Structure 1
Amino acid sequence: MLDNLTQRLAKVVKTMRGEARLTETNTAEMLREVRMALLEADVALPAVRDLIARVKERALGEEVISSLTPGQALVGVVQKELASLMGADLGEEAYQLSFATQPPAIILMAGLQGAGKTTTVGKLAKYLKEQKKKKVLTVSADVYRPAAIGQLQTVTAQVGADFFPTLPTDKPVDIALAALDYAKKHHHDVLIIDTAGRLGIDEAMMLEITAVHAAVNPIETLFVVDAMLGQDAVNTAKAFNDALPLTGVVLTKLDGDARGGAALSVRHITGKPIKFAGISEKLDGLEAFDPTRMANRILGMGDILALVESAQKGMDVAAAQDLAQKLKVGGKFDMNDFQLQLSQMKKMGGMANLMDKLPAQLQQAANGANMGQADKQVRRMEGMINSMTPLERAKPDLIKASRKRRIAAGAGVQIQEVNRMLAQFDQMQTMMKKLKGGGMMKMLRGMKGMMPGKR
């Protein structure tokens, strides 16, 4: 995510090492590089001009405090202004969904076809159900796109929310009103309405969605936009903002955009906060947007809070406590425990997702580890464990040559991969022994080279 911009800004910092303070000359050189990095990231020109002007005003003549180089000092200024550009000055409440209304709170989703709107409805339903403990009903007012209603029904079922069925022959306004009536009678906290998109902005689409909005008066009107559109994302955001009283923006496919310009531009153009960001195709791949934390990630500072949140979501607390108790009373860490660790890492989004949240220095420390390959290796390791008998998983010491051949055949891998997986298991087992004895620092040192996919 945002890799190109992060790398360009990291180079800017390196060029400033050794300077005593920020001067007009060296600041101008750095700002030129920052401007080029932002334009290459497809940030809208008005947003770039505004950011550069504000950074220049704050940075010129600023003394470099102890332990900071001028490059670091300027990055501090850029970080604050990037966060401000994305809406940090709006205050934390601006990024929260409002439920200050008689239930159900209605959320209207608007956007172009292909932006990921329907999937985002499912992700949002899951988020509200699990994070906010809301009873959620979804409905599709998209009567034009083939299978749109069926798609929403499927994703709604997958996240465990309720779905209001409709027909392609129904009218969008009638659908919205019928769903609202149903939500009231069945005591739903939230009603999410998925509206029709088009391949481009057209008057008929705008008139229809305006009519739906007028009929149900939603408390939240969210514009869903594909971050990979770049400049086009800004243009469509402006068109929707002119037609509807938007309350916020949802950026989708941010994980697929190495440039990240839309994240920096949309709020500047619309004046509306980015409330959520889609960071993977999975139904739990939706994050509440935080401009300060996003600015940190863009500048290679990482997002440790997001990493902790991923760990909390992926962590099976009861299973972790059972494992701790098992080790405490002298039990051995076995393949069942190892499989649980692999499963929990996958729930946290995989290695690539975790690395994206780490500061740049730690990412560089893992240089040489192919994260895509690492995630693939984790899946293969799970396949090998699944090919073992219950006895082999409980007592891995039993796994000798003939058993290795059978496991390799069952998992569709070479016997060398079974040997490699068993070696990694042995390392993990050794670390768990150290953890039981309180040797946390020894364990951390022992993790060097443990990352799957590192060569």
Structure 2
Amino acid sequence: MFDSLTEKFDSVFKKLRGHGRLSEENIRDALREVRLVLLEADVNYKVVKDFVASVTARAVGQDVLKSLTPAQQVIKVVRDELGLLMGEGEDNSLDLAARPPVSIMLCGLQGAGKTTTCGKLALKLRKEKRNPLLVPADVYRPAAIEQLKTVGRQIGIPVYDTQPGQDPVAICEAARHFADLNGYDTLILDTAGRLHIDQELMGELSRIKASLDPREILFVADAMTGQDAVTVAKAFDELLNITGVVLTKLDGDARGGAALSIRAVTGKPVKLVGMGEKLDALETFHPDRMAQRILGMGDVLSLIEKAESAIDRDQAADMEQRLRKEGFNLETFRDQLQAVKKMGSMESILKLIPGAGKALKKAGDMQLPDKELKKIEAIINSMTRRERRDHRILNGSRRLRIAAGSGTTVQDVNQLLKRFTEAQKMMKKMQKLGPKGLKSLMGRGGGFPF
């Protein structure tokens, strides 16, 4: 989502780095460009004005101007202020410390992704050892109830049985009673939305709030709508006193204005972000990490968390043991590929590695498309176990059979084997170089073989 913003910030800071020493004039010129970058990203005008004023006050201080690396100090100031703008230092965790069943009410306009977000949130809470119940309280939109039931079936989480035409407040009250009797500790309420704000919608949401007293009232905003999302969030907050915001479609190509403005305008924290269409693509929002992503610094902590959640410790230990015993062959490579796939798309993973996304973008032909990785996996799966463990036995007839079995061409098989051979050489170099092997190779332009 922030690719364009990251590129423009990088361009501004590159000019700063070009000066040996910085003057107040250099910094003010750079911050004028930062102001334009943020306005182009559809960030609220008042938010931009306050942000630039805060950065200027800190950046033209003597500590920055007299430092050995003033350009880096300015970048640090911008990073810090971006983090504060998005709520760094505040508690943005879900508050579920109450007598169960605890109610979480999701609200917002139609099309923002409330129903899907309900499913994602339920899955996330179950991973955190909670026992959620989904409640379809949108009785107006065609198939809304069925949509939530379908989502519930996909993730194996129960959905309270609701019928069109029922009163939404009565549904929520009955669902709470059902949850209390059946041991569910969390109610996730999927409320109705409209294409615009109207009195009927707001009246209904107010009655649900008065009846259930939800612990969390989360406004679901489509990040693709920019400033509109901020305006609507403010209106919902004025009526319902929302406790937080969920930004959906943060993996899209929106300019980022909503993500940067919504907390400053509403005063309410962004608690969760949707990072993809899959039902496990809902993440806790970390303002400091997001600031680093925007400035192209990567997000190693999120990468580690993704790896820990996707790869079982016993599995990882077994993989390490096999690598030591069998070496790096096509079979161990396939297993590593499958483990990495659980972490999400290659593009999303690379954006978390400092400098990797930019390096691959410049390389052009060194992309890691997910379709290409699926093809590689299909080719390896079409081999016998012996072939996967020793690719040197793959003669012409074997390659022809593998290509036919994987729905690819002999040229594809040959290309994979060529790249794999390069990867093997790289692995041997890394083992000789030790822990700093990968960093050293990347510094020499070794890059990724796949």
Distance in 1, Cα, partners of 2:329 & 2:312: 17
Of residues 408, 412, 433, the one that matches 1:417 is 412
- Corresponding position: 1:105 with 2:99: no
Q: Which residue of 2 aligns with 1:24?
A: 24
| 1:272 and 2:268 correspond | yes
Query: 2 CA distance for matches of 1:14 and 1:194?
Result: 46
- The alignment partner of 1:16 has SS state of helix
* Aligned-partner SS, 2:106: strand
Aligned position for 1:223: 219
Indicate conservation of the 8 Å contact 1:138/1:194, yes or no: yes
Tell me the equivalent position of 2:150: 154
Deviation at 1:292, TM superposition (A): 1.1
Partner of 2:112: 115
Secondary structure at the aligned position of 2:251 is classed as helix
Taking structure 1 as the reference length, what is the TM-score of the superposition?
A: 0.91
Alignment partner, residue 6 of structure 1: 6
* Counterparts in 2 of 1:440 and 1:373: CA distance versus 1, 3 Å: closer
How is 1:397-408 mapped onto 2 (pairs within 5 angstroms)? 397-408=392-403
Shift in CA distance, 118/317, structure 1 to aligned 2, threshold 3 Å: same
Shift of 1:62: 3.0
Helix, strand or coil at the partner of 2:220: strand
Q: Secondary structure at the match of 2:246?
A: strand
Equivalent of 2:125 in 124, 128, 134: 128
| CA gap 1:390/1:143 in 2 versus in 1, 3 angstroms | farther
Question: Structure 1 stretch 213-222 or stretch 9-18: which is displaced more?
Answer: 9-18
Counterpart residue number, 2:174: 178
One-letter amino acid of the counterpart of residue 418, structure 2: A
1:45-194 maps to which residues of 2 (within 5 A)?
45-64=45-64, 68-89=68-89, 91=90, 94-130=91-127, 132-194=128-190
Instruction: Tell me, in whole angstroms, the C-alpha distance in 1 between the residues paired with 2:161 and 2:428.
Output: 54
CA distance in 2, matches of 1:186, 1:369: 55
Task: Flag the 1:223–1:12 CA change in 2: closer, same or farther, 3 A.
Answer: same
Q: 1:377 maps to what in 2?
A: 372
Check conservation: 1:42, 1:259, Cα contact below 8 A.
yes
Amino acid at match of 1:122: G
8 Å CA contact 1:138–1:161 kept in 2: the answer is yes
List runs of 5+ in structure 2 lacking aligned partners: none
C-alpha distance in structure 2 between counterparts of 1:443 and 1:373, whole Å? 18
Counterpart of 1:363 in structure 2 is 357
* 1:323-338 equivalences in 2 (<5 Å): 323-328=319-324, 330-338=325-333
| SS at structure 2 position matched to 1:191 | strand
Mean Cα deviation higher: 171-180 or 385-394:
385-394
Deviations 1:415-444 (A, max 9, x none): 111112223333444556677788444566
SS at match of 1:269: helix
Task: Sort the Cα spacing of 1:368 and 1:19 in 2 relative to 1 into closer, same or farther, 3 A.
Answer: closer
Q: Which of 311-320 and 192-201 deviates more? A: 311-320
- Partner Cα separation in structure 2 for residue 337 and residue 436 of structure 1: 16
For the pair 1:294 / 2:290, whether they are aligned, the reply is yes
Give the distance between the partners of 1:66 and 1:88, measured in 2 at CA.
27
Q: Is this contact kept in 2: 1:141–1:194, CA < 8 A?
A: yes
Range 428-437 or range 379-388, more displaced: 428-437
SS of the residue 1:284 aligns to: coil
User: Are the counterparts in 2 of residues 234 and 262 from structure 1 also a CA contact under 8 Å?
Assistant: yes
Asked if the contact 1:352–1:371 (Cα under 8 Å) also holds between the matched residues in 2, the reply is no
1:346 to 334, 341, 344: 341
Q: CA separation in 1, counterparts of 2:273 and 2:350?
A: 18
Contact 1:113 1:197 in 2 (8 A): yes
Letter in 2 for 1:407: I
**Aligned letter for 2:311?**
M
Partner of 1:450: 448
Query: Which residues of 2 match residues 295-334 of structure 1 at below 5 A?
Result: 295-328=291-324, 330-334=325-329
* Identity level (%): 49
Residues in 1 aligned to 2:71 and 2:254: alpha-carbon distance in whole angstroms: 23
RMSD: 2.3
Q: 1:258 to 1:371 in 2, by over 3 A?
A: farther
Aligned with 1:145: secondary structure? coil
Equivalent in 256, 259, 266 of residue 260 of structure 1: 256
Q: Residues 327 and 229 of structure 1: is their aligned pair in 2 closer, same or farther, counting only changes over 3 Å?
A: closer
> Aligned in 2, Cα 1:435/1:20: closer, same or farther, shift over 3 Å?
closer
CA offset at residue 32 of structure 1?
0.8
- Whichever residue aligns with residue 10 of structure 2, its letter is A
Residue 421 (structure 2) pairs with residue 426 (structure 1): yes
Q: Quote the Cα distance in structure 2 between the aligned partners of 1:200 and 1:371.
A: 45
Cα offset, 1:323, TM superposition: 2.5
Deviation at 1:370, TM superposition (A): 5.9
Secondary structure of residue in 2 paired with 1:376: helix
CA shift in 2, pair 1:436/1:39, >3 Å = closer
Quick check: 307-316 or 174-183, which moved more? Answer: 307-316
Kept in 1: contact 2:125–2:132 (CA 8 A): yes
Per-residue deviation at 1:65?
Answer: 7.2
User: Which is further off, 298-307 or 214-223?
Assistant: 298-307
Query: Shift of the alpha carbon at 1:161?
Result: 2.3
Residues in 2 aligned to 1:371 and 1:184: alpha-carbon distance in whole angstroms: 55
Q: Number of residue pairs matched?
A: 446
SS at match of 2:214: coil
Cα 1:136–1:327 shift into 2, 3 Å? same
Deviating more after overlay: 71-80 vs 214-223: 71-80
Alpha carbons 1:22, 1:63 under 8 Å: kept: no
Letter in 2 for 1:162: P
CA contact (8 A) 1:424 1:450 kept: no
- So what's the TM-score if we normalise by structure 2? 0.92
Shift in CA distance, 230/443, structure 1 to aligned 2, threshold 3 Å = closer
Q: Which residues of structure 1 form unaligned runs of 5+?
A: none
